Structure 1
Amino acid sequence: MKVELFDFHLPEELIAQVPLKDRDASRLMVLHKETGEIQHETFKSIIDYFHPGDCLVLNNTRVMPARLFGVKEDTGASIEVLLLKQQEADVWETLVKPAKRVKEGTVISFGSGVLKATCVGTSDHGGRLLHFDYEGIFYEILDSLGEMPLPPYIKEQLDDRERYQTVFSREIGSAAAPTAGLHFTKEILQQLKDKGIHITFITLHVGLGTFRPVNADTVEEHEMHAEFYQMTEDTAALLNEVRAKGGRIISVGTTSTRTLETIASKHDGKFATDSGWTNIFIYPGYEFKGIDGMITNFHLPKSSLIMLVSALASRNHVLNAYETAVKEKYRFFSFGDAMLII
């Protein structure tokens, strides 16, 4: 299947650069996956599309302030470091710029030496493995020195770091936000509960592979980076009960979707306590086992994300919806508007 099949014209001005003042003020496109019918709503009206007994699954990962700016100890040259994932105790896989200046043995100092890192090797994808030295608690130091790793498509500075976190973020470990969850407020979550909708959480720590373009000619040639996921016993039991009683499972975002589908695929369509690494790649032809619908943002052309969405609602329906979104000037990507596929 050609990657070009998932291309569309996206005016650059439609890529949202800043979040709206209110999280739930975004627009909502409702796409009916069987018919392709489209409805235009506001996000606050999403409650109307859920039935008592349905279950909403959200990703409770929390984004690390994973971008660090330091200097080489020997030359004073500036180095930018982006933490990707923890390999062991104090060793992290990272991206560094400029990479050619960081070789094995290079020492980088951050915050006048409060945090230091020594390059101890390279990763499979050309990154650097850094061993960090510090006194105290690593995440507290990271919180004081690091910056939010906003996607490369966002050029504006973020005034409030919490706007790149969901209101339910808890488990720190992501290099990027599960952005479909950014629309939710505590009030909307409570209204859903009051209506009889179950709400539960999984964890998937989002890697930068989520922004990685599909550079292959065909979809089948593309490989996803592995990301860590976790499902608790309580969540698994609730999801199995919802499914047994005929309720719908609606995932929030591609990260929740990939986690649910990974686990359901391993356990014959059921859910179970589980954790590990997944590189599941969902594209048209995939048969969903874990979800009945999803809430997602509008994604970039030829991305693995639009391929996943096209697997759920068909490529023709999705590309027609995206063409409509462009005409109607919906806001795209991380700080953009939302789509509900049911």
Structure 2
Amino acid sequence: MKKGTILFTAVFLLACLVMLLGCHSKGADLHLYTWADYIKPELVQQFEQENKCKIIIDTFDSNEGMYAKLKAGATGYDLITPSSYMAKIMNDQGMLLPLDHAKLPNLLHIDSEYLRIAVDPEMKYSVPYMVSYTGFGYLQDAVMDVTPSWKMLDRSDLKGRMTMLNDMRETIGAALKSLGYSLNSVNDDELSAAKAVVIGWKKNLAKFENEQYKTGLASGEFLLVHGYSGDILKVQEDNEQVAFLIPEEGFSLACDDLVIPKTAGQVDLALKFINFIHTPSVAAANTEYITYLCPNRASYDLLSEEIKSNPGIFPDEVTRSKGEVIQDLGESNIKYTKIWDEIKAAGD
């Protein structure tokens, strides 16, 4: 009887151990906070299978909204994809972890040409994820006499059928560029002039919008939209009349970065994900799917000719020279916030 009890106890303990090991083998959850539709789903599945984990995705539609949520106390995220200027703000405020390059061997594939204009060229706290260019999407069969200029927003014949990004830096930056100024200007006179331009454009807009403009353009609800290259190129799959152009006065050249917040619970897994994303074959597959460019030079040869010849993904040198990266303006950021509030209130 005693031997039977001992045997039963041993079997019971072994079963418990197997259950514990089974739970452990399910792996951890990687919480990713990012823009909508910003990674090829099959790549998510591949990473999950290779690392025996689950990726849980939460989305934001603006850098400022994401930042405000985190500053209000939101935690639980292991990886975030802010634009470079916002990543710098977050790092300066002690919100990000430094990156362990020893665990990121694929950083050697990062395009050195991009790093020359990057906000964090040494990748101390951020790794570039996707590069985009801000311009116009429009319907070729509905908008006549198209010119590659921000002045398209002055067109009263398109009133109520146009949108602009609900993003103060992008939209005020577009007005600054239309006037021949830097989109990082902190000059009060230049900013005042830009405010007047945006208020003028606002009279012709359906709304300021960051997400629905894509499907609205494809469906014909909107005829011309201010937006990101990848978003507009993606909806060409739904409507072949959609075209993308970059304004000749200049434009915002942006990069969204991969960063790890200080509150991350799965730092090692986040580093594995960053390294995975910059595996050349993965970077190429991601670029093909979301039509933004992952600045991974080793991936370029793996891209289709259609992607490599698309000027919305690989603009020529002359066009690229007119692009400007949005910078963190420090204490002068408040100038943009004030102007943006005044623009939103105008005409209400």
- Is the pair's TM-score, using the shorter chain for normalization, greater than 0.5? no
More strand by share: 1
More helix by share: 2
TM-score w.r.t. the length of structure 1 is 0.26
Q: Which structure is larger by alpha-carbon Rg, 1 or 2? A: 2
TM-score w.r.t. the length of structure 2 is 0.25
